[in-house]
């Protein structure tokens, strides 16, 4: 499979090159040259197949022969080493729980898959590569855990000071070894801007080769398709009227779902549910893409004003606005609405959502009110324990604290404080 830059369609790269580079030299995101199509029979018989076989069938066309089959099988086995339960919350409304991995967040899948791919590509290479990544919450912990002790890989994580939860911060600042955390005095968008600038710095790249583990990297983005195939496999009465609501920040997860649909998974409609950082909902309403400054919210991992992966969604539809709107709706919700939804669902259905899942639930319910008669799934992307400090007070006693999470709070945070200044980042990377 070849990939091209969304900035310059003439620039081409192999899967290996796209993974190692992260971004194309012109700052464009990589996109597959063609979208593979799955046999209709395969999608209709998913419940008959082993999840590992499904994942390999889905991802293999994007990799080709660049990773041998036995290595790819092991990478997938390590990636899907935990369950993805589907919980019925109310009639025709399901939560797909994606938080049963090592860091209790959906990003464990993409981070572990990319770590496996990059570890394979870098084997035997004397000069290490640096994974440089910005996080608005869960990416940092997932990347830190996924790449911890991977030979030939150093990890540098930028996160906005005071804008991630205490648990999220502990997950990315306590591992040590090849994991380094930079606490930035700014927003996630500042962190992401600094990372993108570093990728284009030829002087820096010559001394310290960089790649990214954000969802801009194809090896982080594409394996998120696995969730949607796993959900399809579990819903016994799935039909063409099923809709999926995805709490969306940088839009990598929902873009992966829409790629799965483009491959042949029969999802009827997608809903992008955002907090008040509503660039995409406003775009779908008025046709103008106008990012504002990011606003801190309860659903902090979605505090993204300029989502990188939305350009990939536009590319999926080749600029056809009518086709895009037929496949995607988008709604935004306030913290007040989010908290009220968490309280109502717990009171009425004894199910505790995290703030991101609550936004996804609200998006699904709004769509179903306007389009009744569908079966709906919303994604629960993180364990509620990661957000105990921002949950409504009456819900905090109902949060289960896994033992491995309790142990984290006793570990010492290690992070370098830094202004939202690229010159400072470059200086640190050149000297570290």
**Confidence tier at 126 by pLDDT (50, 70, 90):** low
Residue 22 in this model has a pLDDT that exceeds 90: no
pLDDT band at 237 (very low <50, low <70, confident <90, very high): low
**Is residue 225 predicted with pLDDT exceeding 80?**
yes
Residues 376, 349 contacting (CB under 8 angstroms): no
β-strand 30-32 against 12-14: which pairing, if any? unpaired
| Token pair of 320 as six digits | 């056809």
Kindly tell me the number of DSSP H helices and DSSP E strands found in the chain. Answer: 19, 14
- First-to-last alpha carbon distance for the chain, in angstroms, is 36
Q: How confident is the model at residue 138 (pLDDT cuts 50, 70, 90)?
A: confident
* Nearest Cα residue to 30 out of 40, 21, 43: 21
How many Å is the Cα radius of gyration of the chain? 20
* Per-residue pLDDT tens digits for 157-186: 999 999 888 888 998 899 999 999 999 999
User: Could you give the strand order of the β-sheet that contains 153-160, starting from the edge strand earlier in sequence?
Assistant: 210-211, 129-134, 153-160, 179-185, 416-419
pTM for the predicted model, two decimal places: 0.89
Cα Dmax for the chain: 60
At the topology level of CATH, where does 82-106+220-400 sit?
Rossmann fold (3.40.50)
318-338 confidence digits (pLDDT tens): 989 999 999 999 999 999 999
**Do the bridges between strand 416-419 and strand 179-185 make them parallel or antiparallel, or are there none, so unpaired?**
parallel
What's residue 235's pLDDT?
A: 77
Q: How confident is the model at residue 239 (pLDDT cuts 50, 70, 90)?
A: low
CA gap 2, 66 in Å, rounded: 11
Q: What is the pLDDT of residue 238?
A: 56
Name the residue among 206, 252, 246 with its Cα closest to residue 29.
252
What does pLDDT average to over the chain? 92
Q: Across the strands, what pairs with 184? A: 160, 418
pLDDT at 412 over 80: yes
Reply yes or no on whether the pLDDT at 148 is more than 70. Answer: yes
Are residues 332 and 281 in contact, defined by beta-carbon separation less than 8 angstroms? yes
């Amino acid at each position: 499979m070849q990939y091209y830059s969304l900035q310059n369609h003439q620039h081409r790269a192999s899967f290996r090159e796209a993974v190692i580079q992260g971004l194309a030299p012109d700052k464009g995101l990589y996109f597959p040259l063609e979208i593979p199509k799955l046999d209709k029979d395969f999608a209709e018989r998913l419940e008959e197949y082993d999840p590992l076989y499904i994942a390999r069938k889905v991802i293999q066309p994007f990799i080709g022969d660049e990773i041998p089959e036995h290595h790819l099988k092991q990478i997938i086995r390590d990636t899907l080493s935990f369950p993805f339960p589907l919980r019925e919350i109310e009639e025709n409304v399901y939560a797909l729980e994606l938080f049963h991995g090592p860091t209790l967040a959906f990003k464990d899948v993409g981070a572990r898959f990319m770590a496996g791919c990059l570890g394979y590509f870098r084997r035997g290479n004397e000069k290490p590569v640096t994974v440089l990544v910005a996080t608005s919450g869960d990416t940092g912990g997932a990347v830190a855990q996924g790449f911890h002790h991977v030979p030939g890989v150093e990890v540098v994580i930028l996160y906005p000071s005071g804008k991630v939860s205490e648990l999220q911060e502990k997950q990315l600042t306590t591992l040590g070894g090849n994991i380094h955390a930079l606490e930035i005095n700014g927003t996630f968008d500042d962190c992401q801007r600094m990372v993108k600038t570093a990728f284009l710095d030829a002087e820096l790249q010559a001394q310290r080769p960089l790649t990214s583990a954000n969802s801009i990297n194809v090896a982080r983005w594409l394996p998120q398709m696995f969730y949607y195939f796993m959900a399809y496999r579990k819903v016994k009465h799935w039909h063409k009227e099923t809709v999926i609501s995805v709490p969306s920040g940088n839009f990598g997860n929902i873009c992966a779902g829409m790629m799965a649909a483009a491959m042949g998974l029969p999802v009827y409609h997608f809903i992008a549910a955002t907090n008040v950082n509503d660039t995409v909902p406003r775009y779908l309403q008025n046709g103008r893409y106008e990012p504002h400054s990011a606003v801190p919210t309860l659903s902090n991992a979605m505090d993204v004003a300029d989502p990188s992966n939305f350009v990939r969604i536009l590319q999926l539809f080749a600029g056809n606005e009518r086709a895009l709107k037929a496949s995607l709706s988008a709604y935004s919700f306030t913290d007040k609405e989010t908290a009220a939804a968490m309280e109502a669902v717990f009171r009425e259905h004894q199910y505790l959502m995290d703030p991101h899942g609550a936004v996804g639930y609200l998006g699904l319910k709004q769509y179903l009110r306007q389009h009744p008669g569908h079966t709906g799934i919303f994604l629960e992307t993180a364990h509620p324990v990661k957000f105990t400090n921002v949950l409504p007070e009456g819900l905090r006693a109902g949060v289960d604290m896994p033992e491995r999470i309790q142990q984290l709070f006793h570990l010492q945070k290690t992070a370098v404080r830094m202004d939202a200044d690229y010159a400072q980042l470059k200086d640190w990377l050149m000297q570290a």
